[in-house]
């Protein structure tokens, strides 16, 4: 498959996405009272984790994060910014969330395309798109000893927009309709869904009739 975006454009899109994700990792480290090293670790993991996982799984080794110094340094720049200006960054948290949604849309598209480029089927490519977009955040939360946001019912949907965007790309691949404009359209679809989730507090449904089950469990429903 031909490259959808030109290599220079792809590189800078990746850098922007990594930077925004890294900001969220560094901010979580501040909230968890981590030192500067902990901030850097969470920034690196959040910015690069999804892409690293994808590249290792599909055999694109060494991963881009280890061959392009810019990829590695970008989270460190985010760490320095948050270290000195975290109150200001916190105040523009809504803007950071918008950029995070843009990174989600970009990475679910590029992850799906790269997975297919390396020989994965369409379904597996969709999984790679989701992993690229959300993997760094999952690793960030695990390292910070939190339930990953991806799994929490009290957080706005995150995986669903990524899955929709990745599935749209898979459909484009199936129809042989992958072009820069259609790829951007798929990214905008995921981006828009994530913004709607943030705006209207959209959440995924929980288990059917879970209230009664929860009551039973809390009252010692399991008898022995």
Burial of 91 (0-12, 13-18, 19+ CB in 10 A): exposed
How is residue 2 written in tokens?
């031909």
Answer yes or no: is 210 within a domain: no
Whole-number pLDDT of residue 210: 73
CB atoms within 10 A of CB 97: 16
Does 28 map to a domain? yes
The answer to whether residue 211 is domain-embedded is no
Q: Which residue range(s) make up the domain with 57?
A: 7-204
204: left (phi over 0), alpha (psi -120 to 50) or beta: beta
pLDDT of 211 reads: 66
pTM: 0.87
Q: Is residue 35 part of a domain?
A: yes
19-72 tens-digit pLDDT? 989 998 999 999 899 999 999 999 999 999 999 999 999 999 999 889 999 999
Q: How many structural domains comprise the chain?
A: 1
- Look at residue 2 and tell me if it is in a domain: no
In a domain, residue 175? The reply is yes
With respect to residue 209, please indicate whether it lies within any of the assigned structural domains: no
Q: Is residue 140 situated within a structural domain? A: yes
């Amino acid at each position: 498959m031909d490259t959808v975006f030109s290599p220079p454009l792809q590189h800078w899109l990746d850098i922007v996405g990594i930077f925004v994700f890294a900001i969220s990792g560094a901010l979580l480290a501040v909230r968890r009272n981590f030192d500067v090293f902990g901030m850097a670790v969470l920034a690196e993991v959040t910015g690069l984790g999804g892409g690293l996982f994808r590249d290792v799984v599909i055999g694109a080794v060494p991963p881009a994060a280890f061959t392009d110094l810019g990829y590695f340094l970008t989270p460190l720049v985010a760490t320095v910014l948050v270290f000195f200006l975290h109150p200001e960054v916190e105040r523009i948290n809504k803007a950071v969330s918008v950029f995070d949604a843009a990174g989600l849309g970009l990475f679910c598209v590029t992850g799906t395309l790269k997975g297919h480029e390396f020989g994965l089927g369409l379904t597996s490519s969709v999984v790679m798109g989701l992993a690229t977009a959300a993997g760094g955040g999952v690793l960030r939360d695990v390292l910070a000893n939190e339930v990953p946001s991806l799994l929490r019912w009290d957080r706005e949907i995150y995986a669903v927009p990524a899955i929709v965007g990745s599935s749209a790309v898979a459909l484009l691949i199936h129809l042989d309709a992958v072009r820069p404009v259609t790829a951007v359209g798929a990214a905008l679809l995921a981006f828009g869904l994530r913004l709607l989730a943030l705006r209207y507090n959209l959440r995924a449904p929980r288990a059917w009739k879970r209230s009664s089950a929860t009551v039973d469990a809390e009252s010692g429903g399991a008898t022995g």
